[in-house]
Amino acid sequence: MSEPAASNPLLALQTHLPPSFDEIAPEHVEPAISQLLEDLHQAMAQIEADVQPTWSSRIEDLTRRFEPLQLAWGAVGHLTGVRNSPELRAAHEAVQPAVVELLTRVGQSQPLYAAAVALRDGPDGSSLDEAQRRVLDASIRGAELSGVALEGSQKARFNEIQMELAELSTTFSNNVLDATKAYELILRSPAEVDGLPTTARELAAQSYREARGAEAGAPQAAEDEATAEQGPWRITLDGPSLSPFLQHATRRDLREQVYRAYVSRASEGDTDNRRVIDRILVLRAEKAGLLGFADFASLSLARKMADSVAEIRDLLGELRERAWPAAQRDHAELQAFAVEHGFEGELRHWDVGFWAERLREHRYAITDEQLRPYFPLPKVLDGLFALAERLFEVKVVAADGEAPVWHEDVRFFRIVDASSGAPRAAFYLDPYSRPAEKRGGAWMADCLGRSTTLAGPGEVVRLPIAYLVCNGTPPVGERPSLMTFREVETLFHEFGHGLQHMLTTVDRDGAAGIDNVEWDAVELPSQFMENWCYHQPTLRGFSGHWETGDPLPQALFDKLLAARTYRAGSDTLRQLYFGLTDLALHDGYQPSIERSPFDVQREVAESCTVLTPLPEDRFLCAFSHIFAGGYAAGYYSYKWAEVLSADAFGAFEDAGLEDDAAVRATGRRFRDTVLALGGSRHPMKVFEAFRGRGPATEALLRHAGLTG
């Protein structure tokens, strides 16, 4: 018997949006998803019999039929990333195979595929607009890449691979989360935290109190109280704890201990991802072969802007030629500086962050700790939202309490038209690190997409809602979150992704917002927004001392701007190292005893790292982008899209950044092209519509200080 929707919030999503995150519990997952899958399996025969080669039948009707599962499974997937628990993990794993089975069945449906092809090639196809044609082409391509043409044993094997890859991806992600959560370094002597800034010591003491309180299952006992001055202090592998420790702790032996733990995460014991990686790579290669591709990289490029691996390597090679000598100079300067200041011997990996921070302080007289007080999260948000209003004529309005949230720190906002007040979109912001339950990194994901097809009663269009998730420094005591400048850039980055999702004007399902945007173009708006962090009028708008309200002093801004390209060669080379390793693993490679994925990593490192990785370096075991995310054979996208984003910001520079009218006009054009058109046009056409020409690398090299 079907469970009443009212008793299961995952079944009520069709009529109750946004999701009731305060009510969804792990025990709701299995019954809700199982029921939705059963309903769709029973309906498939009729769906296939009724489908016609028309837009309304093949695209819109199917969108409506599958939306309940899309909503429920999307909410579950979101919660596994931000509120993970053993119970939720078990519930997710229990139903994931059945979800994959259903989606595979749909992707391989011959009647649905035939209807799409007939629509494209038939008389109705000529009347479709550009967005409709792109959606239809993507649907046909998606079916072909889902194995619709396979038969017999090949089809059965393909389906087995799909199922196993989904399970392995989840396992990989869980292992990284668990390995990160499992490590802690407890320090009890002030000498062990020598050099750590006050904010880092306060966070480490708070981490100790929270961890010991969680172990006790009760509020923190008095004897376990920890203070920033006296400790104990807890250091973890989570970003807000790890980075300051490697940059500031004077105890070299402790830095080494933490660094070695970080680069070997998820590579041993119950969280060992080494065999998971091997299996994923073998299965991806086999999957590509079944679909007629030479390797997984070729399969991946079927959905991207880049035409070939050779084209990608040409771009990355050009950037490497500029970055390699600059990175070597960076390291030589760092070595000389360290020796000059009393260091003996050759710098090791755990020394680089420490001495790079000392050299930055020496050269630019600026530190993260000087900057932090000027970037409290509430002030940064005010400035970010003011920038969005200036560029894109929208207002961001706090709407806390108007939508249920999954954690007390999560906020909810609405976006409205600045002139009319008409609603445009909404988003959740989950800003702080929670290593016990939240995966690392930062991301934007869609909660709801813009759609006329899925509009509710009385609505003309369903408005989009986004998730913006960061892992920033949390508040400590009564003090707000004081952000590092890199955390500020990350927030701007994710908001850029969100803007493309939320400010779309496309109503076609499958082409609105980020839907159907080629993966190597999807970073354009996010990386574009980061550039505004270095624009002085904008920065003055989002900076303000958390106690006095004073904006960032001119002297500090000048130093920050001067330091923008500090170690740019090293930073660029690091991204190229990741991207080229990803390509090498998916471009004709098969794991073997003679040549493991880590051998491939070391081969790439020879030309992309100034310091050879440690023998126990297993960064691949935590490389979630390519083994548990969507960047497999696509990590190059960051640099590919950075060419586009830098050139896009160049349009504002050309117009005159101090000319407010020109900036506003250029912002409207960016909004009406890059942000509005989403996946309704090929990204090269979208870029050309904004820029008036194709992209060039000059702006990227100039911004990175690599033009010399």
Q: pLDDT (tens digit, 9 = 90+) per residue, 84-133?
A: 999 999 999 999 999 999 999 999 999 999 999 999 999 999 999 999 99
What does the pLDDT read at residue 215?
66
Is the pLDDT at 2 greater than 80, yes or no? Answer: no
| pLDDT tens string 458-515 | 899 999 999 999 999 999 988 999 999 999 999 999 999 999 999 999 999 899 999 9
Question: Residue 6: its pLDDT value, please?
Answer: 58
CA 505, CA 509: separation in Å to the nearest integer? 12
Give the model's pLDDT for residue 253: 98
Average pLDDT over residues 366-390: 96
Sign (positive/negative) of CA torsion 214, 434, 573, 557?
Answer: negative
CATH of domain 5-149: 1.20.1050.40
pLDDT at 236: 97
Cis peptide before 475 (omega within 30 of 0): no
Q: CATH 1.20.1050.40 in the chain, residues?
A: 5-149
In the prediction, which pLDDT does 221 show? Answer: 46
Active-site residue among 67, 487, 489, 494? 494
Instruction: pLDDT band for 212, please (50, 70, 90 cuts).
Output: confident
Active site residue 494: yes
Q: What single-letter DSSP state applies at residue 24?
A: -
Evaluate the CA torsion angle 625, 629, 634, 636 in order and state its sign: negative
Contact 507, 444 (CB under 8 A): no
The sign of the CA dihedral 136, 116, 68, 422 is positive
Res 706: pLDDT: 86
**Pair type for strands 233-235 and 394-398:** unpaired
pLDDT band at residue 15 under the 50/70/90 scheme: confident
pLDDT of amino acid 220: 46
Q: Name the band, by pLDDT with cuts 50, 70 and 90, for residue 4.
A: low
Number of alpha carbons in the 13 Å side-chain half-sphere of residue 665: 11
Task: Assess contact for 636 and 644: CB atoms under 8 A.
Answer: no
pLDDT band at 216 (very low <50, low <70, confident <90, very high): low
Per the DSSP assignment, residues forming a β-bridge with 445 are 467
Mean pLDDT of the chain: 95
Give yes or no for residue 223 having a pLDDT over 90: no
Neighbours of 644 (CB within 10 A): 29
| Residues 6 or more apart in contact with residue 451 via CB below 8 angstroms | 63, 461, 462, 507, 509, 512
CA 483 to CA 367: how far, in whole Å?
12
- The yes-or-no verdict on residue 300 having pLDDT over 90 is yes
pLDDT bucket at 213, cuts 50 / 70 / 90: confident
Residues 551-573 pLDDT 10s: 999 999 999 999 999 999 999 99
